Structure 1
């Protein structure tokens, strides 16, 4: 199947391109600052508490790193969609394009891992120790490797023949019908449906544990906190990733030589940018989830502790400056 050249220089698609650029430019500008501040704060908080708690903090750190990577690429995206031109070279284009999908599927993976860890801590609270913490780190490394490897087809299947074109407007390479369908099916099942099933099952198991008369944990408040965390993961999952993975195969179909009506193609080309923006919204929703479901996050950002941390930081900076001045005087 020959995938059509949905080129940014195709005048027949000028109105669609203008609509998509406007949607992307506005949305990415809106989420840039909140996403940057929220994820930097998240990394600062979780790094301080990584040795004090066992509540999936390792997975949250990796989720914040994935979100931060996407946020750091947004200024270049905003520039492109505002100026309709990409002057930064093909390598930067492919890297930003690749990071977008790495963030999406890494976020999906780590949301599923957070749900599993919190559910496991509720069902078997005494079975978490140093070996499990090391296992969490191993799962993070495995996840990054699989996600980075699995997302390589997104940039590799694009032809970068136009220096001013970038991202999804780059024409795709020619694919057979069987290969195209296989790639889309694999991405949908492995990258979305399996993690979705994991999150739904963990949400159901955690909710079921709240209805038990006798439970392993004496503190029922801990179960409610775990349920809030797992439910928040499910909510982020449903809001950000379900719409995109509904339009993803449809977008592939419309950009191929499939027999689709012009009205259907137009509807998909209008809807898909919105669902792609929703998939990017997770970089802002994840820090909100941390704040409302994690005691450590709230405590670290509370006014007394925040002031104490800033005071200690300033005092440390002053002592360092005094030491440097005394050494220079000598």
Structure 2
């Protein structure tokens, strides 16, 4: 079966391995509880009743999937061993790729949702519904899954051809990055398009907020929070998504592997920063659902009284 197998051993670079184990361990320690708690708060206090909440629930779920795969990376870099087989290695690697792809899409959708809510508050009501957001999120997951199927088959086959399958160089082996120029170009182009959308949305929102009156029906109560939403989104794209994607695009071979592994490690940190988006994007993020329902009921009663008096 392995007559034409590829010889590849785990490098004995203890310093980089220890650094990777520490970084992934910190991301796991922060990202797992933070995203679990954020997902619980989103579902408990906001549910799926608004487009923004639906998008954030899906973003938190994507980050949680990445966080759940990090113990395997910590174990590999801490022990220099991989006794879990090809299938587990393939799954762990693909969870990272799924997170990068879904996160950048969901973050952009959150920016677009906030953008149209601010710039077109009345005309966007028919589009900014939970049902529409659920359909968009379902389409994202289906599209990313379809894209990953071919990669899963190719990666599993490549890893299976390594001679020492009992101790795979799982996260170190970058052989599948070679010859994937079309996918790398497509991913880089897509990331750049999403980055442009975020930049345009940010610029337009800043201009609109400057022109928006400070009082009256068109008043925005938390202008700083609105700006911070777009600032965090831009930060995530520029620091975590863009370098990894561009390096993958220019990947030449083993000489670029060290940089690529470092950028993969950096990109995993995005799951720790995403909860800031939830905090700044949703009004009353910490507010209990029963309290919000009481506020809504009080508002409806006051409106009814006004109609009776008029």
Query: TM-score normalized by structure 1?
Result: 0.75
Q: State the distance in 2 between where 1:206 and 1:29 align.
A: 37
Aligned position for 2:53: 57
Aligned position for 1:279: 267
Cα deviation for residue 171 of structure 1 reads 6.1
Match of 2:277 among 289, 292, 304: 289
Would the aligned equivalents of 1:67 and 1:283 in 2 still touch at CA under 8 Å? Answer: yes
Structure 2 residue 9 is matched with structure 1 residue 9: yes
Aligned position for 2:105: 109
Aligned position for 2:187: 187
Give the CA RMSD over aligned residues.
Answer: 2.9
Cα deviation for residue 254 of structure 1 reads 2.2
Q: State the distance in 1 between where 2:127 and 2:104 align.
A: 25
Aligned position for 2:145: 148
**Can you list the C-alpha shifts for 1:265-293, whole angstroms capped at 9, x where unaligned?**
2xx33332221122111111111332345
Would the aligned equivalents of 1:63 and 1:111 in 2 still touch at CA under 8 Å? Answer: yes
Q: In the TM superposition, what are the counterparts of 1:82-231 in structure 2 within 5 Å?
A: 82-126=78-122, 127-129=124-126, 132-158=129-155, 159-161=158-160, 162-170=165-173, 172=175, 180-190=180-190, 192-213=191-212, 218-231=218-231
Would the aligned equivalents of 1:122 and 1:217 in 2 still touch at CA under 8 Å? Answer: no
Gaps of 5+ in 2: 292-310
Would the aligned equivalents of 1:122 and 1:226 in 2 still touch at CA under 8 Å? Answer: no
Aligned position for 1:66: 62
Structure 2 residue 18 is matched with structure 1 residue 22: yes
Would the aligned equivalents of 1:119 and 1:202 in 2 still touch at CA under 8 Å? Answer: yes
Q: State the distance in 2 between where 1:209 and 1:174 align.
A: 43
Would the aligned equivalents of 2:108 and 2:197 in 1 still touch at CA under 8 Å? Answer: yes
Cα deviation for residue 114 of structure 1 reads 0.4
Q: 1:54 to 1:222 in 2, by over 3 A?
A: farther
Cα deviation for residue 140 of structure 1 reads 0.1
Q: State the distance in 2 between where 1:27 and 1:197 align.
A: 30
Q: State the distance in 2 between where 1:254 and 1:173 align.
A: 10
Helix, strand or coil: the match of 1:85? coil
The farther-off stretch of 223-232 and 240-249 is 223-232
Helix, strand or coil: the match of 1:56? helix
Helix, strand or coil: the match of 1:296? coil
Would the aligned equivalents of 2:47 and 2:53 in 1 still touch at CA under 8 Å? Answer: no
Gaps of 5+ in 1: 256-264, 306-330
Q: 1:74 to 1:174 in 2, by over 3 A?
A: closer
Runs of 4+ in 1 over 4 A off after TM superposition: 5-8, 213-217
Q: State the distance in 1 between where 2:227 and 2:247 align.
A: 30
Cα deviation for residue 78 of structure 1 reads 0.9
Query: TM-score normalized by structure 2?
Result: 0.79
Would the aligned equivalents of 1:8 and 1:169 in 2 still touch at CA under 8 Å? Answer: no
Would the aligned equivalents of 1:86 and 1:166 in 2 still touch at CA under 8 Å? Answer: yes
Cα deviation for residue 94 of structure 1 reads 0.9
Cα deviation for residue 196 of structure 1 reads 1.2
Cα deviation for residue 65 of structure 1 reads 0.2
Helix, strand or coil: the match of 2:166? coil
